């Protein structure tokens, strides 16, 4: 690799701006560590005049990032726009085809087009690096690809979405409703101000789970939608009830191999308060790996925000500058296999079910009769009356039951006149 390295940054939002600043601040350090001199040769964003925290050099500004590739001799391009298609895909594709190394924190792009883009990178002998896509500042992908390279990974469990974890923690701490805490999170910059949907419904965490699977199990990124549930239906009632049971609600992302089949899932879980995972609070992320021979490894760190993200982007840059050409997913694309998808209807858990009901004789028996019909046996039942409104909350903790039965059973309750809303289901971890 030549000594002078020309860099382009596409996307000048919160992360792009922070990154630009880091790149100029750490030029000397980068030269000491890698022997390479870096220069920022091009930047691009939708709007040159948008109000930004930092000044941009308008002389190197491109409105259309694709023009950068035509006009400049770029060695490394950062894609920090963040779409899972559109200009994000186009600029990454064009860069790789032009033998330009690419660094991106874009999990949805990688989860959707990672296989194709990795092949493109390998064909053109350049790097496609995406450490920042999972776990923010936690070097989890590098750990899977390198630090634990020859371990047989069996299971990966993570708290992968800082927004959801912040909201759940804050609901517990401040006893506020979901929507109030969401507003607070948006004001603090922990949740997207306009469209937080993809964080809240589990999509963001599932993209990360898919990337983790691909690295842990050497499979192609699964196209399967997986089992995906978000935290939108968690109410303060559930938080309080969990608290009483010495449990805590966490949105977990899990991937594992069960009988040679791949099972990826994201859903809220009730975890014990005195466990490690039960104590990852606020915007923290954590990943627990079970592997052989290494045993259990845990990595924890700040999961989002421009600081941790830039830390990961910079580590990718250094890896490239050290001349360390690597397969984007640790092994050659042609060696990556497809793994059959596990049938999630067989997934077995104890369940927490919360019913909001009319406080009438016969309602409890309606619930328990239906549960019994589907072989769902009850471990614990708590009834909280709301006499004034002639209503009641019934919380049931079940013994272990598969998804098929619990889904079918819950369908039935939808038709009941005395059950006032869809029952809330949270799996026990």
Q: Looking at the annotation, which residues are catalytic?
A: 208
- Residue 353 near a second copy by CB under 8 A: no
Binding of a second copy by 328 (CB under 8 A): no
Instruction: Please report whether residue 378 would count as binding a second copy according to CB under 8 A.
Output: no
Which residue, among 359, 347, 339, 312, has the nearest Cα to 257 in the 3D structure? 339
Q: How far apart are CA 305 and CA 282, in angstroms?
A: 13
- Nearest-5° Cα angle at 201, 163 to 15: 40
Structure letter (DSSP) for residue 279: G
- Is 278 a binder of a second copy (CB under 8 A)? no
Whole-number minimum distance, CB 135 to a second copy, in Å? 10
Task: By CB under 8 A, tell whether 385 contacts a second copy.
Answer: no
Q: Which residues of 207-236 are buried (b: 16+ CB within 10 A; e: fewer)?
A: bbbbbbbbbbbebbbbeeebbbbbbbebbb
Instruction: Candidates 5, 7, 10, 30: give the one binding a second copy (CB under 8 A).
Output: 30
Under rule CB under 8 A, residue 24 binds a second copy = no
The CA distance from 10 to 78, in Å, is 6
Main-chain dihedrals φ then ψ at residue 366, nearest 5 degrees: -60, -45
Q: Is 310 in the site for a second copy (CB under 8 A)?
A: yes
Region near a second copy per CB under 8 A, out of 247-255, 260-268, 306-314, 350-358: 306-314
Among 10, 15, 17, 18, binds a second copy (CB under 8 A): 18
Q: Is 131 in the site for a second copy (CB under 8 A)?
A: yes
Among 39, 57, 61, 146, binds a second copy (CB under 8 A): 146
State the Cα torsion 146-152-155-156 to the nearest 10°: 0
Nearer to a second copy, 108 or 143 (CB): 143
Site for a second copy contains 291 (CB under 8 A)? yes
Q: Are 395 and 352 in contact (CB under 8 A)?
A: yes
**Total binding residues toward a second copy, as defined by CB under 8 A:** 52
Tell me whether residue 98 or residue 151 sits nearer to a second copy (CB atom): 151
Q: Please tell me the distance from the alpha carbon of residue 322 to that of residue 104, in angstroms, as a whole number.
A: 18
Stretch that binds a second copy, among 83-91, 146-154, 183-191, 395-403 (CB under 8 A): 146-154
Among 279, 358, 370, 393, binds a second copy (CB under 8 A): 279
Looking at beta carbons only, is 317 or 351 nearer to a second copy? 317
Q: Which of 90, 220, 272, 326 binds a second copy (CB under 8 A)?
A: 326
* Residues of span 167-206 touching a second copy by CB under 8 A: none
Q: Considering only the stretches 86-94, 95-103, 315-323, 340-348, report the one whose residues sit in contact with a second copy under the rule CB under 8 A.
A: 315-323
DSSP 143: I
Q: Answer yes or no: are the C-beta atoms of 429 and 242 closer than 8 Å.
A: no
The minimum distance between CB 32 and a second copy, in angstroms, equals 5
Phi-psi sector, 241: left (phi>0), alpha (psi -120 to 50), beta: alpha
Q: How far is CA 318 from the centre of its chain?
A: 24
**Distances, alpha carbon 232 to alpha carbons 96, 164, 244, 408, in Å:** 38, 9, 21, 22
Kindly write down the DSSP assignment for every residue of 337-393, as one continuous string. B--PBP-GGG-EE-EEEEEEEE--TTHHHHHHHHHHHTT--EEEEEEEEEGGGTEEE
Should residue 282 be labelled a site residue for a second copy when binding is judged by CB under 8 A?
no
Least distance in angstroms from the C-beta of 137 to a second copy? 4
Given candidates 46, 261, 335, 414, which one binds a second copy under the rule CB under 8 A?
Answer: 335
- Residues making contact with a second copy (CB under 8 A): 18, 22, 26, 29-30, 32-33, 131, 137-139, 142-143, 146-151, 276, 279, 286, 291-302, 306-308, 310-312, 314-315, 318-319, 322-324, 326, 330-332, 335
């Amino acid at each position: 690799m030549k000594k002078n390295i020309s860099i382009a940054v596409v996307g000048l939002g919160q992360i792009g701006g922070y990154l630009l600043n880091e790149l100029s601040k750490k030029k000397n350090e980068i030269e000491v560590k890698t022997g390479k001199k870096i220069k920022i040769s091009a930047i691009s964003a939708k709007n040159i005049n948008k109000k930004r925290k930092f000044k941009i050099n308008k002389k190197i500004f491109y409105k259309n990032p694709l023009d950068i590739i035509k006009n400049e001799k770029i060695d490394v391009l950062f894609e920090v726009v963040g779409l899972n298609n559109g200009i994000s895909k186009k600029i990454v594709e064009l860069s790789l085809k032009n033998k330009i190394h690419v660094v991106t924190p874009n999990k949805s792009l990688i989860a959707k087009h990672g296989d194709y883009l990795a092949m493109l990178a390998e064909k053109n002998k350049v790097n496609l690096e995406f450490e920042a896509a999972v776990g923010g500042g936690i070097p989890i992908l590098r750990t899977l690809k390198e630090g634990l390279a020859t371990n047989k990974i069996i299971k990966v469990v993570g708290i992968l979405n800082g927004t959801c974890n912040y909201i759940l923690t804050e609901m517990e701490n401040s006893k506020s409703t979901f929507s109030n805490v969401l507003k607070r999170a948006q004001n603090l910059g922990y949740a997207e101000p306009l469209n937080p949907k993809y964080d809240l419904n589990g999509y963001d965490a599932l993209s990360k789970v898919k990337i983790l699977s691909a690295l842990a199990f050497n499979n192609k990124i699964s196209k399967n939608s997986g089992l995906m549930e978000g935290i939108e239906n968690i109410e303060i009632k559930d938080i309080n009830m969990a608290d009483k049971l010495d449990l805590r609600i966490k949105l977990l992302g899990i991937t594992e191999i069960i009988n040679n089949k791949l099972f990826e899932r994201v859903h809220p879980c009730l975890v014990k308060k005195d466990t490690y995972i039960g104590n990852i609070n606020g915007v923290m992320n954590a990943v627990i790996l079970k592997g052989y021979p290494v045993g259990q490894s845990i990595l924890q760190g700040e999961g989002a925000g421009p600081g941790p993200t830039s830390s990961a982007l910079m580590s990718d840059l250094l890896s490239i500058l050290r001349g360390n050409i690597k397969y984007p997913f640790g092994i050659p694309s042609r060696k990556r296999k497809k793994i059959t998808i596990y049938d999630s209807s067989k997934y077995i858990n104890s369940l927490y079910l919360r019913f909001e009901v009319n406080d009438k004789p016969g309602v409890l028996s309606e619930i328990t009769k239906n549960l019994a019909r589907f072989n769902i046996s009850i471990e614990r039942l708590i009834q909280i009356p709301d006499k004034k409104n002639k209503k009641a909350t019934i919380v049931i903790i079940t013994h272990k039951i598969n998804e098929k039965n619990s889904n079918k059973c819950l369908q039935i309750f939808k038709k009941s006149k005395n059950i006032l809303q869809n029952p809330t289901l949270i799996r026990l971890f």
